[in-house]
Structure 1
């Protein structure tokens, strides 16, 4: 019969990070430690429609004033 790992070996541990407000978790055997990063897409509302005009670059680069 195969030995099963202790319950403590299967669980993640919470580790304090000095100088940080957040703690981190230790990795567990068999887990993927690489974070998932969402793909960056343009929203449909901000996507340009139709052919580019002569002033499009300037208009897209303008910043509205702060009130």
Structure 2
């Protein structure tokens, strides 16, 4: 790698404990994922459906180290 080639850099982020890296040369830019609202409805209905037959027993059990 020659000194004239572009490189990835570290940037400080104000108010944050973590730094941010600039995109690497030749890298594909990040793609924002668009969530489908229909998927959210399916997940919400599955979690509120009352659960499975062993859910109540699972919540009552205490691990042996307690």
TM range (shorter): 0.3 to 0.5
Answer with 1 or 2: which has the greater Rg: 1
Q: TM-score, normalised by structure 2?
A: 0.41
Higher helix share: 2
